[in-house]
Structure 1
Amino acid sequence: MRIASYNLRYDSMPDSITPQQSLDALPDALAAPTYYGAKGEQPWSTRRIKVFEHLESEGVVLAGFQEALVRQVTDLATLLGDEWAWVGVGRDDGVAAGEFSPVFYKKSAISLISNDTFWLSNTPFDVSKFPGAGSFRICTATHLTLQTGNKPVKFTYLNTHLDDQSDAERRLAASLMLTRARYEAATTGGPVIVTGDFNSPSTGTDSGAYQIITGQIPPVAINQTFAEKYAVPDGVLPNFVMQDLKAITPRPKISGEYATYTGFNAPGDASVYTRIDFVYGGSNGKWTADAYKVGSSLTDDGVLASDHRPVFADITLQA
């Protein structure tokens, strides 16, 4: 399957333009654009078409988004049509307020078994924010079945967006997610995939969350109720970690860009570029990383679909 992780940039410039109006306003495909005519951030009503085109042209069957307000979720559902379904909740109330970390899946390839949401805080089963964090933060957890191939394969998929201000929140979040991922690997016996904007690069002073989930440093203490609910017996997967697919994929099959965050900077201004969006696979295995690519959000007309770039991974699952 081909999976995508994509931070959409929240709809910070809302307008009343419908998806159909955006489609009707598309220019003649044979007409040359004004190269780099657009500058900086554009409204979501313009950017959403670019996101839709990415998913369609890349043959994605599973996508985890971040920073999607409810309008953005419903817009993508409209553009993708009845071939797709999605799950997720707004992080501010557990319903529709605030940003979602939704999971979209193509129904011909993937079916949903179950899903839930937990908050990346000291009280993960309640709508809650970590002290000092800039925002409420959530993880969307799903149990899915990949229907392609000779035999359907059940797997677990977690999608998230960690805090941009609090390193302590990011470390706690990574610890919660690692606990849940290990539990899923132990109890289902199947593959575990994690995607998200970690706001934590793989190196440097802000890399704590990345180091925790990949096993380079120990997790921090988490909520006892959560730890008990997702505990596994002693000796079961004791060294379980999440593996960065970019580190696992054969080098000739890694393509595209390096940075996943670019801001809405003009071409050539790399002052804020960094790699903070990831696709991980559980160290219990039953998957292989076949290809990995960071796409471009920039098109010739100067429109940046987001201040992040989409991350694509080709993954083969084993029953």
Structure 2
Amino acid sequence: MKIRAASFNIRNSSAPDGENAWPVRRKATVAAIEHLDADVVGLQEVLPDQLEYLRWRFGKYEIVGAGRDDGMSAGEHSPVLVRPGDWRIERYETRWLSDDPATPGSIGWDADLTRIATLVWLRHRNGTTVGVVNTHYDHAGEVAQLQSSRLIARWISGSLPWIVMGDLNATPDSPPVKTLVDAGLRLAVPLSEGGSWHDFTGAVDDDRIDHLLITPEWTVTDAAVSHFRPDGRVPSDHWPVVATLELQ
């Protein structure tokens, strides 16, 4: 029983990115997602206009996740996309990375912005259920990053196999990532695969801040940082990370 999982920060459409602005590169972004060939994809920095476009381009996919500002449609989303096939969404929740995870718009600790996690329970056609967390940690608050990892570690404690994915704004040797590892998760994508952040330069050796972490039930069949450039264009200021996982 396998699942191919990917995480991709697609860069929000409100950023003043000039020749890399969303309207210019959105077809390349879709092509990059398609190239991942993933059963489940977690995206970050998705604004409502981007979500609308993605719903159109991935019309057969299940796409879930709420806006961080109001718990409905406002602000950035961290949606989860599930393609038709062996896996279906059983249920999902959006939670806030704060001391009050159920309150839309809440800001945690020293965070600069509201941050969320989308939790999805996926059911395989054979009846097996697994969990997926897609998240985007704060870029500035070191306490918030650490506390976010502690929150997620509590949320996934239990008997299910879990995949934690997202832009953690933290490198593999940082306290937030180490906290998840100490909680029993491990990094699925080898560090030898290169960096994920490149700020539209196309660099492949910058920081790895986008991650897939997995609980012990999973075996990694293959894993990579995708440096695919559709028609030579970088699809975002991040590279996506992807792995094929098999339940032991």
TM-score if structure 1 supplies the norm length?
A: 0.72
Q: Is the 8 A contact 1:297 1:308 kept in 2?
A: no
Q: How far apart are 1:13 and its partner, in Å?
A: 5.1
Counterpart in 2 of 1:259? 195
What is residue 37 of structure 2 aligned with on the other side?
Answer: 59
How far has the Cα of 1:86 moved from its partner? 0.7
Task: Pick the structure with more strand per residue.
Answer: 2
Q: How far apart in 1 are the matches of 2:166 and 2:33? A: 17
> Quick check: 1:308 aligned with 2:241?
no
Residue 63 (structure 2) aligns with: 86
TM (norm. structure 2) is 0.91
Aligned-partner Cα distance in 1 for 2:95–2:31: 31
Name the CA distance, whole Å, in 1 between partners of 2:168 and 2:102: 20
Distance 1:153 1:41, change over 3 A: farther
Cα distance in 1 for residues equivalent to 2:82 and 2:227:
22
Q: Which secondary structure does the structure 1 equivalent of 2:72 belong to?
A: coil
Equivalent residue letter for 1:77: R
**Mind listing any 5+ residue stretches in structure 1 that lack a counterpart?**
15-38, 216-239, 248-253
Query: Which residue is 1:99 aligned to?
Result: 76
* Correspondence 1:68 to 2:46: yes
Q: Does residue 110 of structure 1 match 2:87?
A: yes
Amino acid aligned to 2:140: Q
Match of 1:295 in 2: 226
3-state SS of 2:179 partner: helix
Residue equivalent to 2:142: 167
Shift of 1:244: 0.8
Identity %: 30
Within the candidate set 6, 26, 30, 1:4 is matched to: 6
Do the aligned partners of residues 41 and 288 (structure 1) sit closer, same or farther apart at CA in structure 2, a change above 3 Å counting? farther
Distance 2:27 2:231 in 1: 14
Residue pair 1:153, 1:317 contacting (<8 A) in 2 also? no
Aligned pairs for 1:185-204 within 5 A: 186=158, 189-203=159-173
Deviation at 1:51, TM superposition (A): 2.0
- Shift in Å at residue 52 of structure 1? 1.5
**1:229 aligned partner:** none
SS in 1 for 2:189: helix
User: What is the deviation of 1:153?
Assistant: 2.3
Matches of 2:176 and 2:44, distance apart in 1: 17
Q: Tell me by how many angstroms 1:97 deviates.
A: 1.2
Structure 2 equivalent of residue 225 of structure 1? none
Determine the structure 1 residue equivalent to 2:114. 136
1:190-245 deviation line (CA, Å, top 9, x unaligned): 31111011101012xxx111111111xxxxxxxxxxxxxxxxxxxxxxxx421111
CA distance in 2, matches of 1:297, 1:163: 26
Contact kept in structure 1, 2:195 and 2:204, CA below 8 Å:
no
Letter in 2 for 1:123: D
Helix, strand or coil for the counterpart of 1:47? Answer: helix
Q: Do the aligned partners of 2:36 and 2:226 also contact (CA within 8 Å) in 1?
A: no
Q: For the aligned residues, what is the CA RMSD?
A: 2.2
Q: Is the 8 A contact 2:90 2:122 kept in 1?
A: yes
The amino acid that maps onto 1:292 is A
Task: Report the Cα distance in structure 2 between the residues aligned to 1:71 and 1:258, rounded to whole angstroms.
Answer: 31
* Contiguous gaps of at least 5 residues in structure 2: none
Between Structure 1 and Structure 2, whose CA radius of gyration is higher? 1
Could you tell me how far apart the structure 1 residues matched to 2:62 and 2:146 are?
A: 31
Supply the AA of the counterpart residue of 2:175: G
Moved over 3 A (4+): 267-270, 297-301
Match in the other structure for 2:132: 157
